[in-house]
Amino acid sequence: MEIVNAAFFDHFMDPRNVGVLEDPDGKGKGGDPSCGDWLVIMIKVREEVISDIRFQCRGCSAAIATSSVTTELAKGKSVAEAREITAEEIEKGVGGLPEEKKHCSLLGVTALNAALDDYLYGKGKKKA
């Protein structure tokens, strides 16, 4: 696989929002059993807006770059707006992916939606 574009390398070499959020309002995981890569996303929500977000990823370079883009796309969006983020948008954020790496952008969608579910139906709901 060869991915040669500035956006991809920027997000891979300097991924945004890496780390852990203490006491997150929502936390979700996405993974792909075929390659073993996984992603955890943690969110803070204030007045239904994602005010902070972090991720931890064990995965390929495309998984890391697309995870970084996912967090940038989600931060500042409402919970409802974040639900609309697609794998295609995430892929566009890294300047495109070769066919065999397109599944990497699904980790972000899966983990983000799991974190939003956790917020809506779990801890975040109890705080309301």
CB atoms within 10 A of CB 117: 13
Rounded to 10 deg, the angle between the 104-121 and 61-74 helix axes is 40
Residue 42's φ and ψ, nearest 5 degrees, are -120, 140
Which residue in 3, 7, 35, 49 binds ligand FES (CB under 6 A)? 35
Report DSSP state, residue 14: S
Helix (H, G, I), strand (E, B) or coil at 78: strand
From 44, 50, 45, 56, select the one nearest 18 (Cα to Cα). Answer: 56
CB of 64 to ligand FES, least distance (A): 9
Token pair 């992603």 in the structure block, residue: 39
Among 24, 26, 28, 59, binds ligand FES (CB under 6 A): 59
Site string for ligand FES, 92-121 (x = CB under 6 A): -----------xx--x--------------
Name the one range near ligand FES by CB under 6 A: 2-10, 54-62, 79-87, 111-119. 54-62
Q: How many residues bind ligand FES (CB under 6 A)?
A: 10
Which residues sit at the interface with ligand FES, rule CB under 6 A?
A: 32, 35, 37, 59-60, 62-63, 103-104, 107
Catalytic residues: 35, 104
